[in-house]
Amino acid sequence: MNIAMMRRLALLSLGLAAGSTQAQLATNLFLDTKAMSMGNAVTADPVGIMDIHFNPAGLTKLEGRQVQFSVQNIYLSVETEFDLPEGYEGDGQLLDISKDPVAGEKGSAGAAIFAPGIGIIPLNHLPLMQAPGAGLSIKPEGSRFTFANAVYIPLAGGFAKDDDDPGRYQAKKVVMQRLSYLSPSFGYQVNDEFSVGASFIFSSHVLALEQDLRAPNILIGVAEQLQDAFGCFDDDGNPTGNDPLVPLVALCGGDIGPYDDVGTLSLETQETLSPSFNIGFLWEPTEWFAWGATYQSEATAHLKGTYELEYTEEFAGFFRKLQSTIFGAIGGAIFQLPNGQRKETGLVSTEQVFPQRLQTGIKLRFFEDFQFNFDLGWTDFDKWDAIMLEFDRPVSFLSSAKILGPGLVTDRSLNQPLGFKSVWSPSFGFQYDLNSRVQLRAGYEPRASSIPEDARSVQAPLGYMPMYSMGMGYQWDKDTVVDFSLAFMQSKEEILADPQTETDNGGPYSNSSNSLNRNCLTCTVTNPYPGLDVKTKLTIGAFGITYRTKF
Alpha-carbon distance values, 435 to 47, 369, 476, 485, 546 (Å): 19, 9, 13, 18, 20
Q: What is the pLDDT of residues 413-455, one digit of tens each?
A: 877 767 788 889 999 999 999 999 999 999 999 998 888 887 8
Which H or E run includes 138? strand 129-139
Residue 506 DSSP label: B
CA distance 168 to 232: 29
CA distance 16 to 446: 20
524 domain-assigned: yes
Question: Residue 28: CB partners within 8 Å, gap ≥ 6?
Answer: 35, 40, 357, 359, 377
135 domain-assigned: no
491 domain-assigned: yes
267 domain-assigned: yes
The stretch 95-106 carries a mean pLDDT of 89
Residue 3 has pLDDT above 50, yes or no: no
Largest CA-CA distance found in the chain, in angstroms, rounded: 92
Strands 15-16 and 18-18: parallel
Print burial letters for 21-52: b (CB count within 10 Å at least 16), e (below 16): bbbbbbbbbbbbbbbbbbbbbbbbbbbbbbbb
pLDDT in the model for residue 521: 59
Highest mean pLDDT (candidates 13-17, 54-58, 239-243): 54-58
C-alpha dihedral over 209, 213, 218, 222, to 10 degrees? 160
- Residue 20 pLDDT grade (very low, low, confident, very high; cuts 50, 70, 90): very low
The stretch 533-548 carries a mean pLDDT of 94
Phi, psi of 390 (to 5 degrees): -125, 135
The stretch 490-505 carries a mean pLDDT of 74
89 domain-assigned: no
> 29: closest CA among 178, 170, 134, 149?
178
Residue 505 has pLDDT above 50, yes or no: no
DSSP state letters, 443-481: EEEEE---S-GGG--SSS--S-EEEEEEEEEEEEETTEE
For residue 377, give the amino acid letter. G
pLDDT in the model for residue 7: 39
- Residue 159 pLDDT grade (very low, low, confident, very high; cuts 50, 70, 90): confident
Residue 11 has pLDDT above 60, yes or no: no
Which H or E run includes 35? helix 33-37
pLDDT in the model for residue 404: 55
CATH number at residue 530: 2.40.160.60
The stretch 74-97 carries a mean pLDDT of 83
Q: What is the pLDDT of residues 328-343, one digit of tens each?
A: 888 877 777 777 888 8
Percent of the chain with pLDDT over 90: 48
104 domain-assigned: no
Q: What is the pLDDT of residues 105-157, one digit of tens each?
A: 999 998 888 888 888 988 876 667 778 899 999 999 999 999 999 999 888 77
* Domain with 39 in it: 2-84+146-217+258-550
The stretch 179-204 carries a mean pLDDT of 96
Residue 5 has pLDDT above 60, yes or no: no
98 domain-assigned: no
CA distance 312 to 495: 30
The stretch 361-378 carries a mean pLDDT of 95
pLDDT in the model for residue 17: 36
pLDDT in the model for residue 49: 97
Return the half-sphere exposure (C-beta side, CA atoms, 13 A cut-off) of residue 163: 2
CA distance 251 to 256: 10
pLDDT in the model for residue 83: 94
Residue 4 has pLDDT above 50, yes or no: no
CA distance 458 to 307: 22
Q: What's the chain's average pLDDT?
A: 85
Residue 205 has pLDDT above 60, yes or no: yes
Other Cβ atoms less than 10 A from the Cβ of 489: the count is 19
pLDDT in the model for residue 445: 96
Strands annotated E in 289-412: 289-296, 299-311, 343-354, 357-366, 370-379, 386-391
CA distance 92 to 523: 22
- Residue 523 pLDDT grade (very low, low, confident, very high; cuts 50, 70, 90): low
For residue 351, give the amino acid letter. E
The stretch 385-392 carries a mean pLDDT of 80
Q: What is the pLDDT of residues 222-248, one digit of tens each?
A: 888 889 999 999 888 889 989 988 988
Q: Which residue has the higher pLDDT, 503 or 516?
A: 516
From 259-268, 362-371, 405-414, the region with the lowest mean pLDDT: 405-414
Cis omega (within 30 of 0) on the bond before 338? Answer: no
Q: What is the pLDDT of residues 254-313, one digit of tens each?
A: 998 889 998 898 889 999 999 999 999 999 999 999 999 999 999 988 999 998 989 899
SS (H, E, C) 145-207: EEEEEEEEEEEEEEEECCCCCHHHHCCCEEEEEEEEEECCEEEEECCCCEEEEEEEEEEEEEE
For residue 37, give the amino acid letter. S
- Residue 216 pLDDT grade (very low, low, confident, very high; cuts 50, 70, 90): confident
**Is residue 11 classed as helix, strand or coil in its secondary structure?**
helix
The CA R_g of the chain, rounded to the nearest whole Å, is: 27
pLDDT in the model for residue 512: 82
pLDDT in the model for residue 432: 97
Q: How many domains does the chain have?
A: 1
114 domain-assigned: no
